[in-house]
Structure 1
């Protein structure tokens, strides 16, 4: 009897709150969660983990060559809209770079041309003064009319007369009209100028000529020997132009009323550091020389 009851109880299904139903539900839940996790993992994009890239120094010679060949092959075999866009952008950059180069060359040409213009105009405007300098260089005695009216003030005499201070001349001429030599109804006037020192441009020309001719003789090239004087002269003109120097000269002189505000005299130039003043009458020069004799200052 007991055995039959036990068998009947074993055949009955377990209750809802029994341990058997709980374990079965847990298994079903675990199975469902596993399926959902597998489904979500399959839908999630897979991230490919690449190994750490090796630096260029770590590659062997064969690997470097293979990488370079692959890059060149990719560069020259691109097709499609991306390649067309890259080609257009590259063409635009090239055109922009060429335009910049053209504008730079144009600006450089303009600057060089402006400098050439300044140099040529300088020598053309001062050609007469250069001629006077060459005449002074070869000890040329001017005409008697000019010689008797021109006052030479050496640096020593200028220092003794207090005419020269800090490389600036401040000359005071005697009380005579600078144009007619009269001593009545005089008015003091001042002339200011920056006088060119023509020795420096000439030195630049001579140095450039010497260097070019000397180099041509060392090369023993007949063409260069024939062209070296012209090259040296052209380069010397530029060198002399940039070596030039001006000296400030201020001259206080007297003028009568008829000759007030004259624009002819004095004519100022310099040579070897000395100042030459050309006046309109020889009595101005005579009075200046008398003043030097009274002070015991040599005219040389």
Structure 2
């Protein structure tokens, strides 16, 4: 088998580092709690009794074997041998699903999630093909590791200019979250708060005139029905403009019609607003995927700018 054929067909045996990590810890004055996890097999720690099973059927895939061995500290090694050859992409997708399914199963034994949810984390950067190689074939392994250090200046002015509102906590939760969907939800909340502000009502045209509202209110209806209808008619969202157009107009009004990101200057238009709103509506749907370019290059700077406005203007 030559190199091109080997790269195309992939291998049958792969290994990747895994860890049991906690979603968060509880930190209060005088109290710190951090959940940790260790693999045990046959009532013994994996370090003393490695896990190994042959002929296993996992998530619809036949495996010749699956094993977990101890590496060091909180790192373990998951090794799977497939019945048929798999490409790297196929293996990465499969192991990702295994990690999620295993984490979901872990929830059953975690009756108290107050101290953090324990989940299985796959360190996909360490995924390796360890299939037996035919004599005379060329096998290439390569990986890249990138790390950076950001300089964070501090001075008196920085601390004296700090601002905080409950929305600050929501924005920072998005920063802390490792998941793209969670980041999106937290940061989009800041834009949704902008949409609720009464000072922007004058930018839009009500769906009905005062006379039309009066005519509807004068209809012979029950008190409850009339109250509900009036609430709808008087809601800030009941305008002739659609939501994407209104969001864009608000952003332009507070100076966010053009933003700066790592790619340079970016003009926000109605199509961008429509895409962000669509992602917000679809984020909980099965199979919905977040556009990470928009998440980090568009929503992140927009949420920052919106937060600065809201912190400055107050409730």
Interval containing the TM-score (normalised by the shorter chain): under 0.3
**Which of the pair has more CA radius of gyration?**
1
Q: Which has the higher helix share?
A: 1
Larger RCO (alpha carbons 8 Å, 6+ apart): 1
Q: Which has the higher strand share?
A: 2
TM-score (norm 1): 0.20
